[in-house]
């Protein structure tokens, strides 16, 4: 199964969840330098592109009104990535402004100690229902010590007033002669990011990992769905401190079941899957080609490759001890795959990969493609 280098995915934009994911426009003719990453833990992770062939006014309109819109990438009829617009940088006449969902907090409370009292208390949640209706509830817990109740309440309300909605923050101002054209870069994330919008709120006590995962997703992760949650009877306790939902779900996934490692990720249609990681290779590396199974030699679209176990057939085989998770010394766990228009083949990354490795590989592939 050789890597298909010529295929280009189609990119479509839809209204956000609050708008029922209604189709909005086909972005394919208006973007360049598109890339996406997919992770073993998390699934569809990030994507980015630049908007082209727009007038300055069209760029401003996109920048001002498309934050949190749903992005869907298709390779042929196959959904190969999806997420939402997370952040945008707009540059015109030397000024760069940023709109970011990461800055939104529309549900805020303060945990505090009162003056002369070491017992920790909390205000109620202060919420902006208009913001929540459009973006979903995005919580923030603030912390203060040795203050009055009135001070804690005022602090929470002030933060809510400042952060309930995004606004175009100035990032930099730099005059470069001849570079006054409008530019817009767009950063997207997968829906696993939204699973950290809220802190876990389910009841405490002990329970099976898979039961806790299901309950957290159903209670505190409103922008995703439970799809396939493999039963895992290992017992855990709910944390005694405030923890965001995705952070805790990742901790639970890494526990495994005592014999196999597990993964949790968001797949097509925002469905969350929690399952054991199979030691069987799903990617086979042959030096000049990549196959999904040994001996198969048909076209493989680079955009659709998913993380998993990769076997390097350029290395001498040697079985590993049966007590180990991987089967062969040639195998490695691919934790992230990055694909882009800028380079002809995917970049396969393990947990040992660093940014310096990425930059060196990118330069090599860019040189080859010239």
Rounded mean pLDDT for each run of 10 residues along the chain, 370 residues in total: 57 96 96 95 97 95 97 93 98 93 97 86 97 97 95 98 96 76 94 97 90 96 95 93 95 92 96 96 84 63 90 92 89 94 84 68 47
Give pLDDT, residue 294. 65
Spatial distance between the Cα atoms of 266 and 224, rounded to a whole number of angstroms: 8
Strand partners, 37: 46, 338
User: In this structure, what is the dihedral angle of CA atoms 72, 265, 295, 7, given to the nearest 10 degrees?
Assistant: 20
Residue in 237, 223, 284, 229 with CA at minimum distance from that of residue 262: 229
Give pLDDT, residue 359. 55
> Which tokens is 252 given?
């639970």
DSSP H or E run through 92? strand 78-92
> Which tokens is 313 given?
């057939």
Give pLDDT, residue 5. 41
- The angle, 0 to 180 degrees and rounded to 10, between the axes of the packed helices 245-255 and 209-220 is 160
Give pLDDT, residue 361. 52
Helices (H), 182-238: 209-220
Spatial distance between the Cα atoms of 266 and 221, rounded to a whole number of angstroms: 12
- Give the domain 197-276 fold: Phage tail protein beta-alpha-beta fold (3.55.50)
Give pLDDT, residue 143. 96
DSSP H or E run through 156? helix 149-163
Would you list the domain boundaries of the chain?
Answer: 9-100+167-195, 105-163, 197-276
Give pLDDT, residue 355. 62
Give pLDDT, residue 145. 93
């Amino acid at each position: 199964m050789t890597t298909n280098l010529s295929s280009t995915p189609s990119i479509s934009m839809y209204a956000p969840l609050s708008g029922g994911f209604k189709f909005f426009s086909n972005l394919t003719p208006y973007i360049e330098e598109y890339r996406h990453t997919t992770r073993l833990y998390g699934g569809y992770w990030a994507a980015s592109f630049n908007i082209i062939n727009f007038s300055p006014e069209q760029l401003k309109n996109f920048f001002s009104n498309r934050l949190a819109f749903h992005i869907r990438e298709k390779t042929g009829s196959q959904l190969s990535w999806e997420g939402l617009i997370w952040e945008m940088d707009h540059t015109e006449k030397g000024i760069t402004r940023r709109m970011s969902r990461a800055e939104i907090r529309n549900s805020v409370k303060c945990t505090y100690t009162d003056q002369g009292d070491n017992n920790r208390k909390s205000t109620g949640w202060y919420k902006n229902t208009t913001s929540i209706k459009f973006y979903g509830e995005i919580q923030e817990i603030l912390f203060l010590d040795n203050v009055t109740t009135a001070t804690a309440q005022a602090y929470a309300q002030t933060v809510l007033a400042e952060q309930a909605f995004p606004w175009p923050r100035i990032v930099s101002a730099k005059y470069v002669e001849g570079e006054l054209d409008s530019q817009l870069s767009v950063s997207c994330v997968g829906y696993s990011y939204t699973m950290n919008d809220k802190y876990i709120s389910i009841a405490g006590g002990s329970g099976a990992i898979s039961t806790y995962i299901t309950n957290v997703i159903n209670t505190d992760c409103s922008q995703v769905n439970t799809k396939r949650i493999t039963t895992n009877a290992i017992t855990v306790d709910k944390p005694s401190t405030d923890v965001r939902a995705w952070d805790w779900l990742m901790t639970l996934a890494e526990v495994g079941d005592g014999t196999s490692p597990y993964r949790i990720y968001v797949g097509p249609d925002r469905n969350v899957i929690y399952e054991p990681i199979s030691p069987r290779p799903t990617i086979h590396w042959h030096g000049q080609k990549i196959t999904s199974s040994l001996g198969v030699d048909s076209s493989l679209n680079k955009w659709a490759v998913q993380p998993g176990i990769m076997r390097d057939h350029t290395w001498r085989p040697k079985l590993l001890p049966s007590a180990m998770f991987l089967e062969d010394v040639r195998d490695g766990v691919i934790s992230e795959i990055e694909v882009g228009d800028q380079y002809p083949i995917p970049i396969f990354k393990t947990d040992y990969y660093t940014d310096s490795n990425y930059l060196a590989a990118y330069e090599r592939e860019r040189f080859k493609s010239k």
